[in-house]
Structure 1
């Protein structure tokens, strides 16, 4: 339909009248009577993209994220698969490292998805976290710099890690292998993120024993809390017998879809249960988050103005600013 046809649907005296009803004002020359689009109106695709770009540029001009007074070691775990553990680990790490913080990602999942997303080679035979757990190499020897940010490093996982569960069983102090490796690391980093496999085996136990904090991603979908109860019971056992410093410090809500009532119900339920440990930022469903790993990149590098990237950037700032333990969170 042409603009002349559109204009014919509106009485000429209305089209030529100003917003306040005065004659001759018009809508900035639009005889159709239709106001121009606000480029930052989020209700339109163009407006949403423009607003995201403005926010991304504004974020780059902010002050660097605060660095912690002590190294923060954070295990990202949830025994339920597909909740965004690796996506969360990679993008929080990339966001922090891009804003003045030194970060190490330890890929403890045999699938090696975090290594892939950070552009790190992890084929069989590459020095990896498997060698560290079995005592064949110190952690410093397997850490590789990622091209995502100047201060971002990764200890990659290879398929060899799949057999580590069995091989660790017969070793002395099998639950403390990762903790000792991190303690003896010479590289100076502010954050250590440990990407756990979707299970509660010896690899996850090593991560919980090594960490001071636990971050649980919970998707905004049906059965969101399924499996979290069992994970928390394991955390209590680790606290009682192996690592008294471990705290559940952070809950991050992922895969939020504002179009569904269920998503809002899950958000409300999780916040009621976990209180201030839930980050105020929620991570939306976003196709860029799914596409980025296939290019060996985090979403923040792949598309820094996407909703997913901006959400992880906001979540990382919130994580950094709230400190190690938000408002004295309980065990």
Structure 2
């Protein structure tokens, strides 16, 4: 049926499609940046031009589907369906399938050199682990599914937040997941990242990242990596669990040759398996932090901003003091070792404008830093705490919550 409602020179058309086919149409159109109405129009045109009928499509359970088509197109399509002896629903389903078959989804964009993102701040409690996990989850979401993203988030607007943390759904855009192959490295002996994702820390008697960095490997490092078993990541999100032997890492590194490159030597054999490796650093400024910083340096032939340091802070004064100490150490390494080391930005975590002037004025101070600049503001909301309690990835536990949306925006900002 058609409706007098128009969009330009088109008429609103209401028919039915199976939900699975409608979802494929929606995802593919988003992947290719095409309006659904244009995709359906193109599919109908192609179907009408076929010399013979296609195999029937199972349309059981078809649900209402509306789009806008040129009036002449719909009238001709109805006539062709009648001539071919198929229902309008079957003809429309075949037309959509023709368009899907002739317009395959784009290949996932992968970096030429594995991205290495070092998430750090020697101050504990700022939420480095949550940012590491959330950004990694956002990068790994399946490209054949749509996820809510706020692409053009204006952080400055948070300064005028009246305390209402509800998200306006009209401000969101459904986009395909990024489909990156992601490794999360729990480089903190406390093992918070490992435990939050429902995994066990590695036993002291077995192999570990620490052993590989110290030159005492007991096997292949990939043998201790585990996959995060959630459908929305499609098997692309992996974790290198922590081991409490990392408490001794600085001592063991003291006798290692070229110790600043120890993390790179340990991870080099598995880098080809991944597009992005995120390092959840310990709250430390010791040798382990030097090794992590060195790992994030820009390599020969690597474009600026592909890898680097992501600093997590909070909107309060003690974070500013810790930030100064961290950046001083980073600058010393840059100078002493002649490193090209990029800042990927600052993430202001646990932000809540309801805390008043201290929070808002501190956020304003972070926003005034232009190099590195603020690339994300993550609210202090209950869903993250709930996800930790049930030991599930946040983006699987609450994929549409404000924090998940903000973490997707962060992932797209630092991995353009």
Question: What interval of TM-score do these two structures reach, taking the shorter chain for normalisation?
Answer: 0.7 to 0.9
* Contact 1:217/1:251, CA 8 A, preserved across alignment: yes
Match of 1:156 in 2: 241
Question: Match of 1:282, SS?
Answer: strand
* Contact 2:344/2:372, CA 8 A, preserved across alignment: no
Is the counterpart of residue 92 in structure 1 residue 135 in structure 2? yes
Match of 2:379 in 1: 284
Match of 2:345 in 1: 250
Selected match of 1:131 from 211, 231, 238: 211
Aligned mates of 1:247, 1:201 — CA distance in 2: 20
Aligned mates of 1:278, 1:59 — CA distance in 2: 31
- 1:153 Cα deviation from its structure 2 partner: 1.2
Task: Report 1:66-145 matches (<5 A).
Answer: 66-98=109-141, 99=177, 100-124=179-203, 125-135=205-215, 136=217, 137-145=219-227
Question: Match of 2:283, SS?
Answer: coil
Flag the structure with higher strand content: 2
Selected match of 2:266 from 159, 169, 181: 181
Is the counterpart of residue 230 in structure 1 residue 325 in structure 2? yes
- 1:251 Cα deviation from its structure 2 partner: 0.9
Aligned mates of 2:130, 2:415 — CA distance in 1: 18
Match of 1:147 in 2: 229
Structure with greater Cα Rg: 2
Moved more, 269-278 or 160-169: 269-278
- 1:122 Cα deviation from its structure 2 partner: 1.2
Aligned mates of 1:88, 1:263 — CA distance in 2: 19
Aligned mates of 1:201, 1:264 — CA distance in 2: 32
Q: CA RMSD in A?
A: 2.4
Question: Match of 1:245, SS?
Answer: coil
Q: How many residues align?
A: 263
Task: Report 1:172-321 matches (<5 A).
Answer: 172-185=257-270, 187-212=272-297, 213-242=308-337, 244-259=339-354, 260-275=356-371, 277-279=373-375, 281-321=376-416
- 1:167 Cα deviation from its structure 2 partner: 1.8
Query: Could you say if the C-alpha distance between residues 317 and 60 of structure 1 is closer, same or farther in structure 2, counting changes exceeding 3 Å?
Result: farther
Normalising to structure 2: TM-score of the pair?
0.59
Normalising to structure 1: TM-score of the pair?
0.73
- 1:59 Cα deviation from its structure 2 partner: 10
Write out the 4+ residue segments of structure 1 that deviate beyond 6 Å after TM superposition.
58-61
Query: Could you say if the C-alpha distance between residues 126 and 119 of structure 1 is closer, same or farther in structure 2, counting changes exceeding 3 Å?
Result: farther
* Contact 1:118/1:147, CA 8 A, preserved across alignment: no
Unaligned runs of 5+ in 1: 1-57, 322-331
